[in-house]
Homo-oligomer: A and B are copies of this chain.
Amino acid sequence: MTRYQEVAALLRQRIEHGVYRVGDRLPSIRALCREHAISISTAQEAYRRLEDAMLVEARARSGYFVLPRQAPAQLPAVTRPAQRPLEVSQWDQVLELVGMNRDHGVLMLGRGIPDLDAATLKPLQRLLAGLYRHGDALSASYDSLIGSLKLRQQIVRLATTSGCLLHPDDVLITTGCQEALAIALRTLTSPGDVVAVDSPSFYGTMQILKANGLKAMEIPTDPRDGISLEALELALEQWPVRAIQVTPTCNNPLGYTMPEVKKRALVRLAQRFDVAIVEDDIYGDLSFVTPRPRTLKSYDDDGRVLLCSGFSKTLMPGLRVGWLAPGRYRDQALHMKYVSTGASATLPQLAVAEFAAKGHYERHVREMVHRYQRHRDILLGWVGQHFPQGTRVSYPQGGFLLWLELPEAIDCIRLNERLAEVGVRIAPGSLFSASGKYRHCLRLNYAAALTPETAVAVRQVGEVAEAMLREEAELVG
């Protein structure tokens, strides 16, 4: 047993024997170091183990706390998608969500939009304004295809916190993370190929599969720790899988973070079957665990992980600044980037680079993590109060998205239609499946979830669901 495992085991024992009780604050990292004469990284590793086991939770700027033995509500069941590659449908439903003109009367509870009102974001606005006002002719022109060197240097610096040692030449700036995902998948596949995905899975990626004539092999996924490696292995044995696409950190929509041992095992499995991995890490920096969890990419020693990320969830979606670390597929990815949109806009890149170089990025993300963690707890409370009995709900480890599994009788596309009448919209679960599974599930956003209007809207979602359940029962009765 290594040192950190020993310390973790000791802490676990103390929790189980009631030395530390639910909600108690555990010793600080520093205190743990003194107590056991261990290094900071060993103490962090010990707490990481306990987090993975869902025994403790890190709270930003406060320390580690003992979690209830049961998560506040029951977690959604392990998913059971189809056992074969499927063509992707659901575009009409996705278009309804993303194609909508912004209407000030409608409360969008379902979209993946961060809180944009934080004071810590102001320096970015100032930087953008200054650059657009005084930018020279060169920055109004095309940048080099790979993107601004200043920004790539900052990305390399930030990525070290996720365990990645990249070189600026390993990073390619894209027009949002969506373009990074599209380039990565197009680089790896040809029409007709099979891609293994966690399930439920981000609808934007599913629609990339559809647009490229790819088939989705949806793998059973555990809302606590992610894609089932056993089921994935079986799929790799049975089907000609060309790529694995997962969101292992602050998963969209389930909110879990895959434990590090499992991440390492996933990379090894991909190596064994010689398959590439497309890792979506767009919410990764919004992890409630500090320092943030490692990426799959950090375990990648032969360049098979294509890491996709960007600043749409941490800063502003409207900037459209994303990035791709394409590993050994750099040349093909660069070609795909060129034909897709040419070089990305220069000035937003320079503004983000400057924002990060001055330390504003870390400060803003800390603030957001703190805020989102509070919002999650508040939203969980509301859901507990207002939703039908039998509702299961995710327990997000980061980000700002909540996944709800309602009683099977409730069709969330119909729920959404009925909510439209009262000016509220959710994201129906079927968007997150190739073939429209998860119809009784839905996704909510708690990025800006604290106004009385939001409270009313969430209650309305619960009440309409409750009403639909009653009507269903009457029909059956």
Chain B positions within 8 Å of A224 at CB level: none
B126→A133 contact, CB < 8 A: yes
Q: A334 to B182, alpha carbons, bound, how many Å?
A: 15
In the complex, the chain B residue whose C-beta lies closest to that of A116 is: B137
Given the interface pairs A340-B179, A341-B340, the reply to whether A132 lies near B142 with Cβ below 8 Å is: no
Q: Taking the complex as formed, is A291 at the interface, i.e. its CB lies under 8 A from any CB of chain B?
A: no
CB contact list, A284-329 vs B, under 8 A: 316-320
B-facing mask of A128-140, CB < 8 A → 1, else 0?
1110110101111
Establish whether residues B211 and A140, one from each chain, have CB atoms under 8 Å apart when the complex forms.
Answer: no
Residue ID in chain B nearest A183 by CB atoms: B340
Whether A110 sits at the interface, judged by CB under 8 Å, is no
Q: How far is the CA of A178 from the CA of B130 in the complex (A)?
A: 28
Selecting from A10-18, A92-100, A376-384, A457-465, the interface stretch reads: A92-100
Contact partners of A336 in chain B: CB under 8 A: 211
Given A98-B342, A129-B132, A316 and B179 contact (CB-CB distance below 8 Å): no
Name the distance in Å between A127's Cβ and chain B's nearest Cβ.
Answer: 9
Measured in the bound complex, the distance between the Cα atoms of B192 and A190 in whole Å is: 12
Q: Using a CB-CB cutoff of 8 Å, which residues 267-285 of chain A contact chain B?
A: none
A137 to B341: give the CA distance in the assembly, Å: 26
**B-side contacts of A186, CB under 8 Å:** 211
Residues in chain B near residue A146, CB distance under 8 A:
99
Contacts of A178 in B (CB 8 A): 339-342
Stretch of A33-41, A54-62, A343-351 lying at the B interface: A343-351
Q: Write out the residue numbers on chain B whose beta carbons fall within 8 Å of the beta carbon of A132.
A: 125, 128-129, 132
A101 contacts B by Cβ under 8 Å: yes
CA distance A178 to B213 in the complex (A): 22
Bound-state Cα–Cα, A407 to B320, Å: 46
- Whether A140 lies near B338 (C-beta < 8 A) is no
Is there a chain B Cβ closer than 8 Å to A52's Cβ?
no
Task: Write the A120-163 contact mask toward B (1 if CB under 8 angstroms, else 0).
Answer: 00000110111011010111111111100100000000000000
A11 smallest CB distance to B (angstroms): 42
Interface size class of A (residues with CB under 8 A): 35 or more
Q: Return A243 CB to nearest CB of chain B, in Å.
A: 16
Q: Return chain B residues, CB-CB under 8 Å to A211.
A: 186, 335-336, 339
Q: Give bound CA distance, A133 to B336, whole Å.
A: 33
Q: Which of A126, A144, A208, A339 has most chain B Cβ within 10 Å?
A: A339
Is A191 in contact with chain B by the CB < 8 A criterion?
A: yes
A133 to chain B, nearest CB (A): 4
The reply on A91 being an interface residue by CB < 8 A is: yes
CB-based contact B318/A207 at 8 Å: no
Chain B residue with Cβ nearest A142: B317
Complex interface: chain B residues within 8 A of A341 (CB):
174-176, 178-179, 182, 320, 340-341
Closest chain-B Cβ to A252's Cβ sits at a distance in Å of: 14
Q: Which of B94, B139, B212, B339 contacts A207 (CB 8 A)?
A: B339
Residue of B nearest to A209 (CB): B339
Is A388 part of the binding interface, using a Cβ–Cβ cutoff of 8 Å? no
| Complex: chain B residue closest to A212, CB-CB | B339
Closest Cβ of chain B to A210, distance in Å, is 8
What is the CB-to-nearest-CB distance from A336 to chain B, in angstroms, rounded to a whole number?
Answer: 6
Provide the bound-state CA to CA distance between A98 and B132, in Å. 23
Specify which chain B residues have a CB less than 8 angstroms from the CB of A334 in the assembled complex. 95, 99
CB distance from A183 to the nearest CB of B (A): 9
Q: Are A316 and B133 in contact (CB under 8 A)?
A: no
Closest to A315 in B: B140
From the candidates B140, B208, B338, name the one contacting A318 in the complex (CB within 8 A).
B140
Which A159-210 residues have C-beta < 8 A from chain B?
Answer: 174-176, 178-179, 182, 186, 190-191, 204, 207-208, 210
Which residues does chain B contribute within 8 Å of A338, judged by CB atoms?
94-95, 98-99, 204, 207
Report the 9 A-B pairs with minimum CB-CB distance, sorted nearest first: A129-B133, A128-B132, A116-B137, A178-B342, A140-B316, A211-B339, A175-B341, A129-B132, A320-B345
For the A-B complex with A126-B133, A204-B342 known, give 9 more contacts whose Cβ atoms are closer than 8 Å: A95-B334, A98-B338, A99-B334, A125-B135, A129-B129, A142-B318, A176-B341, A178-B341, A345-B348
Q: Report which A residues bind B (CB closer than 8 A).
A: 91, 94-95, 98-102, 111, 113, 116-117, 125-126, 128-130, 132-133, 135, 137-146, 149, 174-176, 178-179, 182, 186, 190-191, 204, 207-208, 210-213, 316-320, 334-336, 338-348
